[in-house]
Chain A
Amino acid sequence: MNSSEPITGTPQPLLRVKSVGKSFGGIQALCNVTFEVAPETIHAVIGPNGAGKTTLFNVITGAYEPEDGQIVYENREIQGKKVHEVVAQGIARTFQNVELFGSMTVLENVLVGRHVRMHCGFLGAIGRWPRVRNEEREARDYAWELLEFVGLEKMAHHRSADLPFGWQRFLEIARALATQPRLLLLDEPASGLNAVETQQLGDLLLQIRSRGITLLLVEHDMDLTMGISDRIVVLHQGRRLAEGTPREIQCNDAVICAYLGSDEDMRGLS
């Protein structure tokens, strides 16, 4: 089950991470990490604190350029591209520490997510010709739909910073969805959520997958991760430790060992 070859019979992978390496000074945050993400699946990335999960996300989204290896998305190499170009290609993300535009309303936050699918520039904004107005109206409709989808439509006109923390996480997902991604990267979306909200989150993620969006999920909540993931890759000290189905990962000795070695929460792992 430590296999690196793709599962036979599955379609072309949407994302291929090929022997990616990234270091910060002396710290090797990622080292020769390789795995593939099949389309329309939920693919989890787990590992103890400092394993390199967030760094992996930053490399995929173009925030960092990897020193080695390639990121292949839809058969195109995307490493070294600018962050906003990667979004335009269809990869969106959320952040480990919720990062909303705090001075803007809930609706406006989602509209910012819509930015990349709109065209209006300075002249269009000043002229407000029909094309610009139509585009704006469509964007608003789209944003409202997403707010309803995550259940925040009643809060649309509140400042995003004023939302309860759990709702901010849902808003961040709505904002990322507004970019119309094919691949959505979620960095610990359940952290800080209570049990009910975590349950809602799980349902939401399954619904997102059924909309044809592929999810790459970093998560410490093992009940959630094991419950909804199709496949899991385990990182440990920047290296890929294991990969497989949730069931395979749960009884992988190396994984259990790695988690025992750290003071991580072992819930659901045994």
Chain B
Amino acid sequence: MSKMKHGFFLLTIVIAGMAMSNSYHLQLLTFIGINTLLALGLNMLMGYAGQISLGHAAFYGLGAYTSAVLSATMNWSPWLALFAAIVLTTLVAFLVALPMLKLSGYYLGMGTLGFGMIVFILIRQWSTVTGGDSGLVGIPALSLGPLSLASGKAYFYLVWAVVLMCFVICERVVDSRVGRALRAIHDGEHVAAAMGIDTSRLKVGVFVLSAVFAALAGFLYAHLVSFISPNSFDFLVSVRIVTMVVIGGMASIWGSLLGASLLTLLPEWLHVFTDYEMVVYGLILMTIMIFLPQGLTRGLLDLYEQSRTIYRRPATSQEPTANR
């Protein structure tokens, strides 16, 4: 079942890659892939474990800047730089998560928000290394041995191969001891603990996982555009990632793809959008929360199923044998 889904996914990527000749479209699809990674990571944290992060752009930036600085300024191989970026992100996420995940609800939101701002300010102010507001140029293109990934098409395949890999990773995590424990924490943290789940440890774990996904996305972004500046990693970006998850649906791996696609394409299609981006995200978030709290994917599926069952005879349901 899931093999078939992945095969179909792979086929779609290959066909899209072959059919696509317009480099603008290819780049758009590549961006969708990168945003999908961001949404996927945050969805593991928000959708499955039920913990919010309003500072995920920080890890996105951490991945992008670590790799960019190491490869552009210090001439490291980008792949080595990627490795360093992942190690650093893991470390930072771990240190941030330890005190932070003791918080919950609003406080966790505020805490991660603050963390995102600190990283953003660091990137802007530490100009000797990061280039500050004027950004960092000359980030090398990627290559795999003799194979150059500089072309739009090659990069498109690379990004989507990574997305597919991360899909598989998420599906495996969700369908495991760890994934069940995460969902249990979401359903009731103290009950989860009473079943023997070390809740703080798992929350730290999933926070690190989602941060690493964001760093990976940052790496892919930096080497795609070859120039990065702090604005690509500000608060608005964190909100955008949250919006992608909410639109696609919490705890829906494939929903992340939908959320990322919509939020990548909408600003391209509606240019007015760019001036009022924050307002539009706010509106989207509110509308979805009120009308489709399960997200667009689940919401549409539910609507579909409702419309089907209306025409069917009501099934004889088992009556509860006792009242509460």
Binding site for B on A (CB under 8 A): 61, 63, 82-84, 87-88, 92-93, 95, 99-104, 108, 111-116, 118, 120-122, 124-126, 128, 132, 135-136, 139, 164-167, 175-176, 179, 192-194, 197
Contacts and interface: CB of A to CB of B under 8 A. Distances in A.
A104 B198 contact: no
Given A194-B321, A197-B321, A122 B194 contact: no
Interface centre among B186, B191, B195, B196 (most CB of A within 10 A): B196
B322 A194 contact: yes
A95 B195 CA distance: 11
A112 B320 contact: no
Contacts, number: 116
Interface centre among A84, A93, A194, A197 (most CB of B within 10 A): A84
Contact of B321 (A108, A125, A135, A166): A166
A164 B319 contact: yes
Main secondary structure of the interface of B (DSSP, over half): helix
27 contacts: A61-B194, A84-B199, A95-B194, A99-B188, A101-B192, A103-B183, A103-B186, A103-B187, A111-B180, A112-B197, A113-B195, A113-B196, A115-B197, A121-B205, A124-B176, A126-B173, A132-B176, A135-B177, A136-B177, A164-B318, A164-B319, A164-B320, A165-B320, A165-B324, A176-B195, A179-B195, A197-B322
Contacts of B193: 82-84
Contacts of B186: 103
Main secondary structure of the interface of A (DSSP, over half): helix
B55 interface: no
A116 B180 CA distance: 12
A108 B324 CA distance: 23
B181 A122 contact: no
B32 interface: no
Contact of A87 (B184, B187, B190, B194): B194
A166 to B, nearest CB: 5
Contacts of A194: 321-322
